[in-house]
Amino acid sequence: MVQKNSDKLPSNPIEAQGLLIKEVYKKFGKEALPIIKKVCGKQGRALGSKIMKKLPDNKLSTVARAFSESFNPNSVKIISMSDETFHIQGTTCPFGLENTSRALCEAVMAIDEGYFREAVSDKIELKILKTVAAGDLHCDTIYTLKE
C-alpha cells in the first residue's frame, strides 16, 4: 500500500513521542514546557527505577554504560565515563527536536535527568552545553555527580 500522506511516519516510539511533544509545544508554546518537563521527568524516573533493579550497583559509570547500550554509535559519541562524570555528544536528536528550541530540549531532557537521578543519586547535575534543538551542530551533555 502506498502512503498517501507526505508526512514522514515515525520509525520508533521515541520519534512518535517527539512528534507529540513538538505538536503540543507548537500549539501551546512556552506554557506547555512545565507540563512537558514534569511528564518527561516522571518517565525518566520510571526508567531509572527499572534499570536500577537490573544493575549490580548504582555507580554513575555502571548506569551510564547501561544507558549507552541503546546509542547509535554513528550519532552518539561517549567523550568520558567515570563514577563522577558522564559526557556525551550526539549529532541527532532521538526525539527529532532539531531546530525547535533550547527550552524544549531542556524540558524533554528531564527524561535523562530523571533517569540518572533515580538510578544513581539525586545529586546528579545535568549540563546541556550544546543542543541540535537550538541549531547547534551537535548536542553536548555532561552528567556530574556532585558531593
22-39 pLDDT per residue, tens = 999 999 999 999 999 999
Q: How far apart are CA 22 and CA 129, in angstroms?
A: 21
When pLDDT is averaged across residues 48-53 and rounded to a whole number, the result is: 96
Within a 13 Å sphere around the CA of 17, how many CA atoms are in the beta-carbon half? 13
Helix (H, G, I), strand (E, B) or coil at 89: strand
Nearest Cα to Cα of residue 59 among 86, 38, 33, 79: 86
Domains within the chain, CATH numbers bracketed: 14-145 (3.30.1380.20)
- Can you tell me which residue has the cell 547501561? 66
pTM (2 decimals)? Answer: 0.91
